[in-house]
Chains A and B, each alone.
Chain A
Amino acid sequence: MTLSQSMFPWILLTAAFLFTLGALGVLIRRNPLVVFMCIELMLNAVNLALVGYSSYLNSEEGQVFAFMVIVVAAAEVVVGLGLLTRVFSIGRELDVDDLDEMKQ
């Protein structure tokens, strides 16, 4: 058993911990930019799990998957920042609770 394999349960636990932390952040924080950062944290927790599994199973698929996640996360960030700057320029406070134009 190599070092990375004996460490594997801890890697998976860390990933689960970071994922939960990100999910809590999304639910608790009010600033959409911070919410967005928390989502990035969740995605990177997934990356950690993927790479951890990949090394544990000695299969490359997980690492390739992590690459895909990184690229998609970047695309999502770009679209997200674009939309948020747009909401800014329409003249809103940056608070997700204020996005209630359509609440009935």
Chain B
Amino acid sequence: MNALAALPLATATPGWHDLVGLLPELIVAGGFLALMLLDLVVPPARRTWLAVFSGAVLLGALAVSVWGWYDAGAAGRSVFFGAFAYDRLAVFGNCVILGTSLLTVVISPGYLIRRKLHHGEYYSLLMAATVGMMLLAGATSLMVIFLAIELLSISLYILSGFSRQEERSQEAAVKYLLLGSFASAFLLFGMALVYGETGHTQLAQIAASMSRSLPVDPLLVGGIILMFVGLAFKVSAAPFHAWTPDVYQGAPTSVTTFMSVATKVAAFIVIIRLFDDAFASYYSHWSAVVIAVAILSMVVGNFAALTQTSIKRMLAYSGIAQAGYILIGVAVGVGTSLGVQGALYYLAAYAFTNLGAFAVVTVMSGRGEDLDSYDQLRGLWHRRPYVAAALAFFLLSLAGFPPTAGFIGKFLVFAAAIQAHNVALALWGIGTSAVSVFYYLRVTLIMFQRPKEDAPAYEWPRTGVAGSAVLLVTAAGTLVLGVFVVLVLTVATMAQTGTLPGT
């Protein structure tokens, strides 16, 4: 029982090979500290250099991550005594998170300068949140999962309230903080129960202990459900979604861009690790809850999005619905080969598509206030045809039209549900997708309308090189993921083999 005392302490110190497994995280963490100090010496007029510096750090970490794909190998290995997995799932997560962070950094300076929010802390906080997400993607110990979630959450609480003079932004931050800590408490209590009933905090040992215990342990089931509640909050699945529209709308748009994508990717990777691997032997006890949350998210997200008149709120509700589709993959991920693959593919597709959609809103936000209401999009096609086309493309992908990434993602998770003989779940997904077409097309049609003669038009800023580049990359990603399915599916398969490397 006494696992720690059994280890000879003097020899239990990590070595270089442990540090190599954590190299991308260490690079970004170093970048975070460096940015904090650089902000003190860089004059305010040259703050764009901070963005350049953070971009360079993220690019370096991304390169190391890509190298890690080959270094970790198909089997992957466990580093820091089972606290982290250095495997392809973690590398996959790191790449998506770093890419999201990088693209966010590229569009940030222009937006922040227009909104007069260009403070140096923005970049260091963004780095801190990125480190938290990367650690979460590789975490295989309850303690590390908790610490990583808190690192990313606390950084995002501050970033949500980054517009200090704006009531909305402050309100978003307070709401996110109160509800986020509330959810963390549930996650923690679940962790305490799982730890107590299995006697371990490391997922590999927890999994072993779970498969041994034959009489079902009700406290353990309770712990698993509580942990799911806490994580469902982080991915904003219904009925734990109440914070999402307000926080997405109130936070500065560049922050929303980042957190709507990267948080979801990191949290879903840890959900897959936990539920489709560590807790797999208790599948029959948690699957009903996950399926219920998935269906509820699809229904609530899609129907609430119908009545919105704010683009940021609409995308928030759409994000809730997307979380529901990804949860389908998670819910059937234990019995089927397609479930986890589909969920991972969906995550990559969602990352490009949603990042692109929010990037359009960020890039088109002018001096006075954030671009928000549908009316402010009226006539975008006639003034900024490329931007309008990009947004239309992203919205079609979110709705799941071929040949976009969103179509393949939806196809895979629905196929997984059918593979698991849960046709009803697939039908829920297909039915709610049909509903979603209405609100995505509504926004698209508004962009093509002629602007009203009497109403003062919203002043869209110039797209700029950085903005165009980001829109181009995200649109290309959405298209590639929609066309070259086989390529990416192989990647998703490779990332999935063994989510808990042996210690």
| CB-based contact B154/A101 at 8 Å | no
Query: Least Cβ distance of B182 to chain A in Å?
Result: 5
0/1 string, A50-74, CB within 8 A of B gives 1: 1011001111111011001100100
| CB-based contact A101/B167 at 8 Å | yes
The residue of chain B having its C-beta at the shortest distance from the C-beta of A35 within the complex is B178
What secondary structure prevails in chain B residues at the interface with A?
helix
Residues in B neighbouring A96, C-beta threshold 8 A: 178
Residues in A neighbouring B5, C-beta threshold 8 A: 60
The residue of chain A having its C-beta at the shortest distance from the C-beta of B157 within the complex is A79
Beyond the given A23-B182, A49-B196, A65-B143, could you list 6 further A-B residue pairs with CB under 8 A, ordered by the A residue number? A32-B174, A61-B143, A62-B195, A62-B196, A69-B146, A96-B178
Q: Known contacts A76-B150, A79-B158: does B192 contact A84 (CB below 8 Å)?
A: no
Contact stretch, chosen from B245-253, B338-346, B413-421: B245-253
| CB-based contact B146/A72 at 8 Å | yes
Q: Known contacts A61-B195, A64-B143, A69-B188: does B173 contact A75 (CB below 8 Å)?
A: no
Query: Least Cβ distance of A94 to chain B in Å?
Result: 10
| CB-based contact A99/B181 at 8 Å | no
Which residues of A approach B to under 8 Å, CB–CB?
Answer: 12, 15, 19, 22-23, 26, 32, 35-36, 39, 42-43, 45-46, 49-50, 52-53, 56-62, 64-65, 68-69, 72, 75-76, 79-80, 83-84, 86-87, 90, 92, 96, 99, 101-102, 104
11 chain-A/chain-B pairs, Cβ below 8 angstroms: A49-B196, A52-B196, A58-B2, A59-B199, A62-B195, A65-B142, A65-B143, A65-B192, A65-B195, A65-B201, A83-B174
Q: Residue B460 at the A interface, CB < 8 A? A: no
Q: Residue B212 at the A interface, CB < 8 A? A: no
Which residues of B approach A to under 8 Å, CB–CB?
Answer: 1-5, 142-143, 146-147, 150, 154, 157-158, 161, 164-165, 167-168, 170-175, 177-178, 181-182, 184-185, 188-189, 191-193, 195-196, 199-201, 245-246, 249-250, 308-310, 313
Residues in B neighbouring A68, C-beta threshold 8 A: 143, 146-147
| CB-based contact A19/B189 at 8 Å | yes
